[in-house]
Amino acid sequence: KAGVTQTPRYLIKTRGQQVTLSCSPISGHRSVSWYQQTPGQGLQFLFEYFSETQRNKGNFPGRFSGRQFSNSRSEMNVSTLELGDSALYLCASSLAEGRAADTQYFGPGTRLTVL
């Protein structure tokens, strides 16, 4: 089975621009979560989607948004980029609905640099 894929792997943007990141989960996985990873804050949860619905949301401003398509693929969007948005954005998929014991399968991440 193919793993979680994320595109693009690297992205350079300037302040004020917007960006869209894409994530394809493992086939059969219905839950997709997004995380922001930075050296200072570690791994922070952004949001989680299941069956095209956002079920959980972390403590991030409204500039961060996402969506999930019927094939479980997910995108996240960041508008009006700030320097502090520079980070590794990780997508993770899991198999079942609402099971805390589920393993999260992570993609390699998209490295976003905001200049």
Residues that bind another protein (CB under 8 A): 4, 33, 35, 42-43, 45, 48, 56, 90, 92, 98-109
For the chain, give the number of residues. 115
Shorter beta-carbon distance to another protein: residue 15 or 43: 43
Shorter beta-carbon distance to another protein: residue 57 or 63: 57
Shorter beta-carbon distance to another protein: residue 16 or 28: 28
**Rounded least distance, CB 16 to another protein, Å:** 28
Cα separation, 50 vs 60, in Å, equals 19
CB 109 within 8 A of CB 6: yes
